[in-house]
Amino acid sequence: MKLCFVILSLTGISTMVQGQLKRDYPIQPVAFTQVQVTDNFWAPKIRVNADITIPYTLEQCQKTGRIDNFKRAAHTLPGDKMTEYTFDDTDVYKVIEGASYSLQMKKDPALEKYLDTLIDIIGAAQEKDGYLYTFRTVNAAQPHAWIGSRRWEEEEDLSHELYNSGHLFEAAVAHYQATGKRNLLDIAVKNADLLVQTFGFGKEERFPGHQIVETGLTKMYRVTGNKSYLDLAKFFLDVRGPGKKHSGEYNQSYKKVVDQHEAVGHAVRATYMYTGMADVAALTGDRQYLHAIDDIWHDVVEKKLYITGGIGATGNGEAFGKPYDLPNMSAYAETCAAIANVYWNSRMFLLHGDAKYIDILERTLYNGLLSGVSLSGDRFFYPNPLMSMGQHQRSAWFGCACCISNMTRFLPSMPGYVYAQNKNDLYVNLFAGNTANITLPAGKVQLVQQTNYPWDGKVAITVNPAKTTPFTLHIRIPEWANDKPVPGNLYFDADSSAQQALVILLNGKPLSYKTEKGYAVLQRSWKAGDKISFEFPMQVQKVLASTSVTSDKDRFALQRGPLMYCLEGPDNKDAAVQNIVVDKNAVVNAVYKPSMLNGVTVLEMQGTAASRQLNTDQLISTTQMVTAIPYYTWANRGPSEMTVWIPYEASAARPKPAPTIASKSKVSASTPNKRMYLALNDQYQPLNSQDNNSMYLHWWPKHNTLEWVQYDFDQEYTVSGSEVYWYDDSPFGGCRIPASWRILYKQGDQWIPVKNTTPYSVQKDKYDSVQFEPVKTSALKLEIQLPVENAAGIHEWIVK
Look at residues 350, 351, 355, 392 and name the one whose alpha carbon lies nearest to residue 374.
392
Query: Tell me, what DSSP letter sits at residue 658?
Result: P
CB 492 within 8 A of CB 544: yes
CATH code, residues 666-799: 2.60.120.260
pTM given for the model: 0.92
The helix or strand, by DSSP H or E, that contains position 53, with its residue range, turns out to be none
CB 221 within 8 A of CB 233: yes
Which regions in the chain score pLDDT beneath 50? 1-19
Looking at residue 82, its pLDDT comes to: 97
Candidates 2.60.420, 2.60.40, 2.30.29, 3.90.550; correct CATH number of 421-476+500-535? 2.60.420
Amino acid at 668: S
Looking at residue 1, its pLDDT comes to: 31
Look at residues 531, 534, 533, 523 and name the one whose alpha carbon lies nearest to residue 464.
531
Tens digits of residue pLDDT in 515-565: 999 999 999 999 999 999 999 999 999 999 999 999 999 999 999 999 999
Looking at residue 2, its pLDDT comes to: 33
CA 10 to chain centre: 34
CATH code, residues 243-407: 1.50.10.20
Looking at residue 498, its pLDDT comes to: 66
Tens digits of residue pLDDT in 743-777: 999 999 999 999 999 999 999 999 999 999 999 99
Looking at residue 685, its pLDDT comes to: 87
Which residues are within 8 A (CB) of 75 and not within 5 positions of it... i.e. 6 or more apart? none
> What are the domain boundaries of the chain?
64-239, 243-407, 421-476+500-535, 541-651, 666-799
Which residues are within 8 A (CB) of 789 and not within 5 positions of it... i.e. 6 or more apart? 703, 704
**Long-range pairs of 504-512 with CB within 8 A, sequence gap ≥ 24:** 504/475, 504/532, 504/533, 504/534, 505/531, 505/532, 505/533, 505/534, 506/530, 506/531, 506/532, 507/531, 508/533
